[in-house]
Amino acid sequence: MNGLIDELDSSPPIAADLLGNPLCKQVEQTLDSMRPYPGDPVWEARDLDRFWVTQINDEELIVVDNITGDEEILPIRLALRPGFMMGRWYAIKRTQKTRVRVKPLPRWHKALYEPKFCYAKNIAWRLTNREEFEESFWAKGHKKSAWKRFRVELDEYRGTYHVWDQDLDFVFDIPIRAARDPRTNITRWYYRRISKEFLHAIQLAFDESDDWGLSGLFDNVLDDDLYPHMLELF
């Protein structure tokens, strides 16, 4: 299991174990990819991490522009709306503040693809790689395909995400609230569930065995006098 499960229970939590807020990271990356904006200074490209986004309550994000010092409130429902053109939204905000009008650029009209999927992708990425979600934006080659070991799907009717480990063929459910809580330790959550499943499988195999697995302890040879006494232990 890529060595991950073996170390989970003993290793101290790291930042990548906590889910964080993938929507904030997705907004940051999207806005950065659509620079520059109307009225920007000529040196704006020098700052590689122009935007900082954080969630301020259950309904809103705040977008901080490190170049201009401006702050904009972005409703979460808007950021998650299919077809929402985030670059256009911010370009309009900049136009209103700077009074600089430019011809709309094609890249500003690019919408996020399935924005709600960022929560599911965040879970899959962290479980597989134990890395921050933003690392998935630049993943290439084997790493890009390997994280797909976990398929995570939203079930709005039941209010859960289905987490399917395709290598082990296990499926677990995690409530939406926990899946979107930045404080959730997804690594420990998965370890506890996978451990419980393995213990259950071992117990089931033990119960269904004719000799409760005792023959395997003695190279498949049990002394006739020893066997009854061993059974008394159970």
Predicted confidence (pLDDT) per residue in 142-176, tens digit: 666 666 789 999 999 999 999 999 888 889 999 99
pLDDT by residue (tens digit) across 64-89?
A: 999 999 999 999 999 999 899 999 99
**Does residue 133 share a domain with residue 82?**
no
**Does residue 101 share a domain with residue 27?**
yes
226 domain residue, yes or no: no
**Does residue 89 share a domain with residue 9?**
no
227, HSE (Cβ side, Cα atoms, 13 Å): 11
The mean pLDDT of the chain is 82
**Rounded mean pLDDT, 177-196:** 90
Q: What is the pLDDT of residue 216?
A: 57
Instruction: Please tell me the distance from the alpha carbon of residue 130 to that of residue 6, in angstroms, as a whole number.
Output: 13
Rounded to two decimals, the pTM is 0.76
**Pick from 107-111, 149-153, 176-180, 228-232: least confident:** 228-232
**Does residue 9 share a domain with residue 48?**
no
pLDDT by residue (tens digit) across 114-132?
A: 778 899 999 999 998 888 8
Q: Which domain holds residue 186?
A: 1-16+117-212
Long-range contacts formed by 155-164: CB under 8 A, 24+ apart: 161/119, 161/120, 161/123, 163/123, 163/124, 163/127, 163/190
Q: How many domains are contained in the chain?
A: 2
